[in-house]
């Protein structure tokens, strides 16, 4: 027997839209481009041939439209995996829950969700200006202490190796992204393994006025190798996307515009240009030209 989801658990606004994203099921395309920065949504939708719908609430700005005949929704999420947990759960509810009966639908709809975000490289050979697709995401946050999922043997071994190397009191999580989308939208990009951090400064080894607890985190993560598996870059959402994608049954791929190199201490003076290149390349790869 399917369980009705109570009003306090799945919150639907009086106009029939979902609580945080402010979207109704008909507003969402089955291909979603997710970006961190609300201003980046327009940077994606400027290339659409037409825009049928726009809305915003909090950090969630949505534009749905058509690119070369393909219906695409571009949405911003803000920063961090806590936002991604909300984003993915509500996105999934829009397609997999009947809002009238509050029951999960009999037939599961799988979304293609592609993150276009910025990131810092932890490898000398991946300079600012590179475009990188994340084969795996490694979460240094604790989101997955609150959900249960299956991990592959490689994912378990990577998590254990990182916990040991950083001497963490909790187990990080390692999750593979969509292999289907890696082939489609990762075409021509560097393939890497992305470390998702619960912060931009201390958790990524940056020191402004406060010394991080693991000041040599970049060097430590750089030495980790599990059967050829190495870590390549830092950001703040990828592992959360991959974990929620696995739990909810969606294809998810994180694409990274590398704007900084943490080894050479370079920060690109053309971050917007790098992101724009990634946006245009991704749109073309989505429509398969």
Ligand X SMILES: O=c1cc[nH]c(=O)[nH]1
Check binding of 117 to ligand R1P (CB under 6 A): yes
Query: Judged by CB, which is closer to ligand R1P: 96, or 118?
Result: 118
Residues 63 and 53 sit within 8 Å (Cβ to Cβ):
yes
Check binding of 259 to ligand X (CB under 6 A): yes
Binding mask 39-78 for ligand R1P (x = CB under 6 A): ----------------------------------------
Residues 244 and 88 sit within 8 Å (Cβ to Cβ):
yes
Residue nearest to ligand X (CB): 120
Helix axes 81-96, 238-248, angle to 10 degrees: 30
Check binding of 86 to ligand R1P (CB under 6 A): no
Could you say which of 118, 176, 178, 194 contacts ligand R1P (CB under 6 A)? Answer: 118
Q: How far is the CB of 123 from ligand X (least distance, A)?
A: 13
Could you say which of 90, 92, 235, 251 contacts ligand X (CB under 6 A)? Answer: 235
Check residue 69 and give left, alpha or beta (phi > 0: left; psi -120 to 50: alpha): left
Instruction: Tell me the CA end-to-end span of the chain in Å, nearest whole number.
Output: 45
Widest pairwise Cα distance in the chain: 58
Beta strand spans in 146-284 (E)? 173-176, 190-196, 233-235, 251-261, 266-267
Check residue 80 and give left, alpha or beta (phi > 0: left; psi -120 to 50: alpha): left
Check binding of 36 to ligand R1P (CB under 6 A): yes
Q: How far is the CB of 180 from ligand X (least distance, A)?
A: 26
Could you say which of 47, 200, 229, 272 contacts ligand R1P (CB under 6 A)? Answer: 200
**Residue 226 carries which DSSP code?**
B
234 binds, among ligand X, ligand R1P, none (CB under 5 to 8 A by kind): ligand X
Q: How far is the CB of 189 from ligand X (least distance, A)?
A: 17
CA distances in angstroms from 271 to 232, 246, 283, listed in the order given: 19, 31, 19
Could you say which of 237, 261, 274, 279 contacts ligand R1P (CB under 6 A)? Answer: 237
CA 44 to CA 253: how far, in whole Å?
A: 17
Check binding of 119 to ligand X (CB under 6 A): yes
Q: How far is the CB of 105 from ligand X (least distance, A)?
A: 36
Q: How far is the CB of 122 from ligand X (least distance, A)?
A: 9
Q: How far is the CB of 35 from ligand X (least distance, A)?
A: 12
Q: What are phi and psi of 87, to 5 degrees?
A: -60, -50
Residues 67 and 149 sit within 8 Å (Cβ to Cβ):
no
Secondary structure of residue 116 in the 3-state scheme: strand
Binding residue count for ligand X, defined by CB under 6 A: 10
Give me the half-sphere count of Cα atoms (radius 13 Å) on the Cβ side of residue 178: 25
Check binding of 272 to ligand R1P (CB under 6 A): no
- Given the rule CB under 6 A, which of 33-41, 168-176, 205-213, 261-269 is the region that contacts ligand R1P? 33-41
Check binding of 84 to ligand X (CB under 6 A): no
Interface contacts to ligand X, rule CB under 6 A: 118-120, 200, 204, 234-236, 259-260
Interface contacts to ligand R1P, rule CB under 6 A: 35-37, 79, 117-118, 200, 235-237
């Amino acid at each position: 027997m399917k369980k009705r989801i109570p009003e306090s658990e799945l919150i639907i606004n009086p106009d029939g839209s979902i609580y945080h994203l402010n979207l109704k099921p008909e507003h969402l395309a089955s291909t979603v481009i997710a970006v961190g920065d609300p201003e980046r949504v327009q940077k994606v939708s400027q290339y659409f041939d037409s825009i049928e719908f726009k809305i915003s609430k909090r950090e969630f700005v949505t534009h749905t439209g058509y690119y070369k005949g393909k219906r695409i929704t571009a949405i911003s999420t803000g920063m961090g995996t806590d936002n991604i947990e909300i984003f993915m759960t509500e996105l999934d509810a829009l397609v997999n829950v009947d809002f009238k009966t509050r029951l999960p639908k009999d037939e599961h709809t799988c979304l293609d969700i592609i993150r276009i975000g910025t990131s810092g490289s932890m490898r000398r050979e991946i300079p600012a200006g590179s475009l990188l697709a994340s084969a795996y995401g490694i979460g240094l946050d604790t989101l997955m202490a609150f959900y249960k999922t299956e991990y592959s043997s490689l994912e378990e071994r990577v998590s254990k190796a990182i916990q040991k190397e950083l001497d963490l009191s909790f187990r990080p999580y390692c999750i593979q992204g969509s292999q289907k989308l890696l082939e489609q939208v990762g075409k021509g990009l560097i393939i890497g393994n992305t470390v998702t951090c619960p912060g931009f400064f201390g958790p990524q080894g940056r020191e402004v006025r406060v010394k991080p607890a693991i000041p040599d985190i970049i060097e430590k993560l750089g030495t980790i190798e599990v059967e050829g598996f190495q870590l390549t870059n830092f950001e703040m959402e990828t592992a959360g996307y991959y974990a929620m994608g696995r739990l909810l049954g969606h294809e998810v791929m994180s694409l990274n515009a590398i704007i900084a190199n943490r080894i050479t201490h370079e920060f690109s003076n053309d971050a917007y240009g790098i992101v724009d290149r990634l946006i245009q390349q991704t749109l073309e790869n989505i429509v398969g030209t």
